[in-house]
Every structure is written in structure tokens, then in C-alpha cells.
Amino acid sequence: KGKSIVCHFDFISFCINFMCISSVKNGEMVRIRVESILL
């Protein structure tokens, strides 16, 4: 869950978000958060 917070830190960290998704096996949850940030 800690990685999720890191990804949700700032939408500007687009690259970091991708890294988090790769690191987290349950990228689906993180991916949804990333999409919301991008939108």
C-alpha cells in the first residue's frame, strides 16, 4: 500500500507511476489511480 501512496504523490511523476505499476503486481489498483490523476 505504501507504493500506492508514492504513485499518488503527484501526477507530474508520470514516469514514477509507471515504475510503481511495474513494481506492484496488483497494478490494476495503481493503474486506476494513475488514470484518475492523468484525467
Enclosing domain of residue 12: 2-38
Instruction: Provide the CB-side half-sphere exposure for 17 (13 A, CA).
Output: 18
Residue 4, pLDDT score: 53
Report if pTM > 0.85. Answer: no
Residue type, 13: S
Domain total for the chain? 1
Tens-place pLDDT, residues 4-29: 555 455 655 665 666 555 555 555 65
Q: Hey, what's the cell of 16?
A: 514514477
Instruction: Provide the CB-side half-sphere exposure for 13 (13 A, CA).
Output: 15
Please return the burial class of 5, using the count of CB atoms within 10 Å of its CB with bins 0-12, 13-18 and 19+.
exposed
Residue 12, pLDDT score: 56
Residue 17, pLDDT score: 60
Question: With contact defined as beta carbons under 8 Å apart, do 34 and 9 qualify?
Answer: no
